[in-house]
Amino acid sequence: MRLIAANLLLFGCSASERIASNASAIQREAKDLSAIGRDSGDMRVVAHSETIYGLAADIHSELPKVEDQIPAWMSMMGLGFLALIVVAVAFILWNTGIGTAIRVAIGWIPRRKVREAEMAADMLSDASAENPREFIASKRGSDPMFDAAFKKAWSKRKAQTDAC
């Protein structure tokens, strides 16, 4: 119930709609008051009720000039949610591998990866003088993470061969 009330407060009728409905309610009350004044013979009540009715009618005539304003905090909240959605989509694309697939599909491959692929293709080609050692040296020089993993694997392999 509180959630519904909060939503109505935040996203309910606009201010101009509330002004129009309140002005209409005031006009109805003024008509009822005028009828009571006529029934009781009190012309002063009738005159005041007609004044109230006219003022409420003026509110209706001026209402089209009223412009609803969006509070600054609500605009910022909307922009914040939009930024959060963009970050979430980017995070999902990056972590699922779809981002890499999109980058490959549009041809946006980093130069380092292109150089590594060229070196690997040269290594496999019979016409080229490159060998696997040159490819590994190139890969270790361009990727510090690969270099660290290679050193660890190489020392592990050396320890196994020394033990035999």
What's the rounded Cα separation, in Å, for the pair 16 and 92?
A: 42
The answer on pLDDT for 12 being more than 70 is no
For the chain, the domain total comes to 2
Q: Which domain does 61 fall in, by range?
A: 12-69
Looking at the structure, tell me whether residues 98 and 44 fall in a common domain.
Answer: no
pLDDT at 24 over 60: yes
Contact in structure between 129 and 102 (CB atoms under 8 Å)? no
Q: Tell me, what's the pLDDT at 125?
A: 80
Give the residue among 12, 50, 6 at the shortest CA–CA distance from 30: 50
pLDDT of residue 11: 54
41: left (phi over 0), alpha (psi -120 to 50) or beta: left
User: What's residue 35's pLDDT?
Assistant: 93
Query: What pLDDT score was predicted for residue 84?
Result: 96
Is residue 164 included in any domain, yes or no?
Answer: no
Q: Are residues 53 and 82 in the same domain?
A: no
The predicted pLDDT at position 77 comes to 92
Q: Are 91 and 80 in contact (CB under 8 A)?
A: no
Q: Are residues 117 and 132 in the same domain?
A: yes
Are 65 and 80 part of one and the same domain? no
Residue 121 and residue 89 in one domain:
yes
The residue-averaged pLDDT of 4-32 equals 77
Looking at 69, 93, 113, the residue that finishes a domain is 69
pLDDT in tens, 64-78: 888 888 888 888 999
Task: Give tens-digit pLDDT for 106-158.
Answer: 888 888 888 888 888 888 887 777 788 888 888 888 888 888 999 999 999 88
pLDDT, tens digit (0-9, with 9 covering 90-100), for 25-48:
999 999 999 999 999 999 999 999
| The pLDDT value given to residue 50 | 94
Query: Does residue 118 lie in a domain region?
Result: yes
pTM over 0.95: no
Q: Note whether 88 and 32 are same-domain residues.
A: no
Domain contains 80? yes
pLDDT tops 60 at residue 59: yes
For residue 24, being part of any structural domain is answered with yes
Residue 94 has pLDDT above 60, yes or no: yes
- What is the predicted pLDDT for the residue at 13? 67
Residue 6 resides in a domain: no
Q: Output the DSSP codes for the chain.
A: -HHHHHHHHHHSS-HHHHHHHHHHHHHHHHHHHHHHHHHHT-HHHHHHHHHHHHHHHHHHHHGGG------HHHHHHHHHHHHHHHHHHHHHHHHHSHHHHHHHHTT---HHHHHHHHHHHHHH-TT----HHHHHHHHHHH-HHHHHHHHHHHHHHHHHHHH-
Residues contacting 66, CB < 8 A, separation 6+: 15, 16, 19
Whether 47 is covered by a domain: the verdict is: yes
Reference 60, options 91, 35, 26; nearest CA is 26
